[in-house]
């Protein structure tokens, strides 16, 4: 029995101040799990509300103040957003993402639908992908002709400007949902018409890349983390974590016409994002890739201070992208 207890306490993954995962399956999360209530933000006027889609999936919607054009209400772009956290951390309802997405909805004048998906390792991949797909289909059910009943989407959403986006693991999810939308389609003829926003995406691959030298410990941890969240993985060239891997579906099938890639100079996965852009262009995909790289900043820097100059510049780029 003592031997069994010692094994239960063996650590499979530890990222300091973030998470500890034990081989027994026990998980200790040190931040990101506590929700804050939906509300109307006094500073921006952005309102938020929560909707439950299934026993496993919920969303928080953000609606900025409405505007008129020529006496008629001007409908708003719709961004379906997937939070980051390496598939193991955060909830769509925590203070970090609530504050950030309130700010982004105000800046972009867009409806944001933030998806709360199940986390690994309790729910290994592909749970997060499947939950996010369910949420995207729910959003698409509000397109013209659909049966969706959420008035913020039916009354105020412009489904000719539907986008997906997220940072880190959320950007990984956005990519895979755009790939899935091609062969499977979305309800009521909805399409990811505006494109996808990939902020500091969590992609890996074989061979070392220079950006990993910025933080060798973190570079090692993100590989360990992948094996925890996807225990059946074939490794860092699994198509779920490396869209450029041999055997991955051709990126020519990405079901959108534009991609905005946001990178940070000292992020360990920066060069994987660059390679994604190069691979997408080389695939024969017919769309447009825009790249924004912020100097002197690290992974998901904007979540720590979304009012700093670099975060504002990044969010201004996202706002322009969503409104085209």
Is the distance from CB of 287 to CB of 195 less than 8 angstroms? Answer: yes
Does the annotation mark 299 as catalytic?
yes
Look at residue 15 and give its three-state secondary structure: strand
- Nearest-angstrom CA–CA distance, 189 and 54: 22
Q: Of 163, 168, 194, 211, which residue is the catalytic one?
A: 168
Does the annotation mark 7 as catalytic?
no
- Nearest-angstrom CA–CA distance, 226 and 234: 10
Q: Of 116, 131, 238, 267, which residue is the catalytic one?
A: 267
Cβ partners under 8 Å of residue 252, min gap 6? 283, 284, 285
Look at residue 36 and give its three-state secondary structure: coil
Q: What are phi and psi of 121, to 5 degrees?
A: -85, -5
Does the annotation mark 116 as catalytic?
no
- Nearest-angstrom CA–CA distance, 284 and 266: 30
The candidate with the shortest Cα–Cα distance to 259, out of 190, 168, 322, 183, is: 322
Q: Are strands 19-22 and 11-15 parallel, antiparallel or unpaired?
A: antiparallel
Q: Of 90, 175, 299, 302, which residue is the catalytic one?
A: 299
Catalytic residues: 168, 267, 299
């Amino acid at each position: 029995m003592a031997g069994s207890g010692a094994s239960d306490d063996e650590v499979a993954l530890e990222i300091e101040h973030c998470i500890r995962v034990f081989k027994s399956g026990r998980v200790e999360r040190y931040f990101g799990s506590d929700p804050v209530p939906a509300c109307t933000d006094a500073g921006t006027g952005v309102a938020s509300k929560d909707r439950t889609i299934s026993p496993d999936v919920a969303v928080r919607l953000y609606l900025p103040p409405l505007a008129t054009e020529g006496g008629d209400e001007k409908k708003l772009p719709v961004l379906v957003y997937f939070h980051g956290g390496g598939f193991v951390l955060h909830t769509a309802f925590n203070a970090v993402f609530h504050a950030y997405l309130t700010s982004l909805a105000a800046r972009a004048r867009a409806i944001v639908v933030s998806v709360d998906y199940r986390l690994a390792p309790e729910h290994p991949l592909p749970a997060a992908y499947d939950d996010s797909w369910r949420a995207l289909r729910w959003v698409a059910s509000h397109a013209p002709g659909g049966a969706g009943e959420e008035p913020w989407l039916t009354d105020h959403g412009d489904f000719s400007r539907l986008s997906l986006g997220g940072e880190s693991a959320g950007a990984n999810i956005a990519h895979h949902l755009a790939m899935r939308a091609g062969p499977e389609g979305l309800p009521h003829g909805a399409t990811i018409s505006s494109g996808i926003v990939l902020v500091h995406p969590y992609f890996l691959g074989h061979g070392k890349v220079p950006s990993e030298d910025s933080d060798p410990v973190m570079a090692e941890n993100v590989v360990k983390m992948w094996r925890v969240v996807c225990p059946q993985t074939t490794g860092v060239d699994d198509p779920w974590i490396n869209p450029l891997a041999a055997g991955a579906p051709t990126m020519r099938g990405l079901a959108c016409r534009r991609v905005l890639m946001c990178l940070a100079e000292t992020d360990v996965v920066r060069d994987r994002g660059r390679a994604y852009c190069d691979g997408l262009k080389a695939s024969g995909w017919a769309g447009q890739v825009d790249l924004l790289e912020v100097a002197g900043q690290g992974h998901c820097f904007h979540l720590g201070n979304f009012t700093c100059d670099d975060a504002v510049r990044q969010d201004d780029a996202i706002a322009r992208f969503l409104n085209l």
